[in-house]
Structure 1
Amino acid sequence: MSRSNDGKEQLKEILDRPEYQAYEQESQTASQRLLDVVAQWVKELLETWFPNFQVSDSAINGWIYFFGFIGIGILLFLFIKVMGRLSSEKKLSQKRTFSVTSDLAWSSEKHVEEADARAADGQFSEAARHVFLGMLLDFDARGLVEVKTWKTNGDYEKELQDSDHTLVADFSFLAKIFDQITYGNRTLQKEEFAEFRFRAFQWMDQEGRKDA
């Protein structure tokens, strides 16, 4: 108990010091000055728009606090939404690319053939997935990356930074869409798939692709 009392006494002594009191007063004065400036601006604005409208200073201060709280709430909501989206994209990027062993067993050419078959049936998201896997296997055959079941698209992007950095920008674009359609809820339309296919095929070896 004595230590607790000693702590309270020390805290009280600090709070009672002149320099702390001066700091508190200065902080309150600065805040009050800012509030007065904003209140005066709002009052002049209202008087300009509504010459016959009379409003007290206390009412204006109340409005400022009210809309200030609303503004803070909106900013907090937007911050949470942005952080949630970033967290979701981060989780997607950490998913393994070849999650099914059979996908890794296929050749690049077989994935391309499957992609064309899926696209013909209107399954553009699944078609894009096979295009991407075929592209990665093509990169593996050319020694640009080393395909492994445990790797993510982030791992392959790092390998491309060293083997051929000119592919990185397009690969990053395609990888993001691949993650969204494979592990997220995105569905590709025909036009989106056409762009996806074109951007993937332009980097694939001639023997590993068909005419775009």
Structure 2
Amino acid sequence: MLDANKAREELKDILETREYQIYHNNTKGLMEALWEKAKQWIAEQLLKLFPSFESASSASGPILIAIIIVVIILLTMAALFMMPTISRNKMLRNKKPLQSKKEINWSYQRHLIEAKKQEDLTEYTLSTRHLFLALLLYFHEKNWLEARIWKTNWDYYEELRKVNQQWAVQFYDLAAFFDEVTYGERKVQKDECLQFQTEVRKMLGEHEQTLERLGEST
């Protein structure tokens, strides 16, 4: 008990020393100065955005604090919103969909047949893989992109974008799901596989109809 009282008295003496008070006041003064500068800068930016804002010096602390909190929340939400897109882009840039010469030598029709076979065996992940490769090799056969083992889905997206922006966007979405399934830990469920199949066959059908219309017009 005596030791505790002695320690308390010593701590009190330290806090009351001139050196500590000078350090405390200097630190407090520095923080206050930085806060004032921060408020001044924010107020000046608000003045640029909103000319009706009275002046940088007249901005009240509570208003600026509220604005800072709102900005932080918005930036956090934007970062969280962008993270999946950044992750997708990174995966599309690094992963290569074609893993062997066998896969690239198959026609897109053969990949469709294999996709149906794997679906009947309830191997939905493999079925999804062959569906995507069917779409990729269909584009290759139409000379809209050039399939190579060393290329990534981002390479194919960039090539397809030069041909048709809408097709490239659709391909991007399917490629993102394909990469997530192939290189992630996601297991494809039956309804996801059927939805993916619908999207792939829809793209194939739309492209064939486009080609037929172009053929009729020439």
Q: TM class by shorter-chain length?
A: 0.5 to 0.7
Matching residue's letter, 2:91: L
Matching residue's letter, 1:175: A
Aligned to 1:202, the other structure's residue is in SS state helix
1:73-109 deviation per Cα after TM superposition (whole angstroms, max 9, x unaligned): 9889867755654443232111112133332122222
Matching residue's letter, 1:196: F
Runs (4 or more) in structure 1 with deviation over 3 Å come to 30-38, 71-87
What is the aligned partner in structure 2 of residue 204 from structure 1? 204
What percent of counterpart residues are identical?
29
Matching residue's letter, 1:90: N
Matching residue's letter, 2:97: T
Verify the 8 A CA contact 2:89 2:154 in the aligned structure 1. Answer: no
What is the aligned partner in structure 2 of residue 91 from structure 1? 90
Distance change in 2, residues 1:36/1:196 (3 Å): closer
RMSD: 3.8
What is the aligned partner in structure 2 of residue 107 from structure 1? 107
Deviation at 1:125, TM superposition (A): 2.0
1:116-166 deviation per Cα after TM superposition (whole angstroms, max 9, x unaligned): 111112221221111110111111112121111121112212222233444
- Work out the CA distance in 2 between the residues paired with 1:166 and 1:80: 26
Q: How many residues align?
A: 156
- Work out the CA distance in 2 between the residues paired with 1:122 and 1:31: 69
1:148-203 deviation per Cα after TM superposition (whole angstroms, max 9, x unaligned): 11211122122222334442232122111111111122222222211211221123
Distance change in 2, residues 1:37/1:134 (3 Å): closer
Aligned to 2:162, the other structure's residue is in SS state helix
What TM-score, normalized by structure 2, do the two folds share? 0.56
Gaps of 5+ in 2: 1-32, 41-55, 209-218
Verify the 8 A CA contact 1:115 1:128 in the aligned structure 2. Answer: yes
- Work out the CA distance in 2 between the residues paired with 1:173 and 1:162: 17
Aligned to 2:140, the other structure's residue is in SS state helix
Matching residue's letter, 1:133: L
- Work out the CA distance in 2 between the residues paired with 1:129 and 1:74: 39
What TM-score, normalized by structure 1, do the two folds share? 0.57
Aligned to 1:204, the other structure's residue is in SS state helix
Verify the 8 A CA contact 1:97 1:153 in the aligned structure 2. Answer: yes
- Work out the CA distance in 2 between the residues paired with 1:90 and 1:157: 11
Distance change in 2, residues 1:180/1:33 (3 Å): same
Aligned to 1:185, the other structure's residue is in SS state coil
Verify the 8 A CA contact 2:132 2:174 in the aligned structure 1. Answer: yes
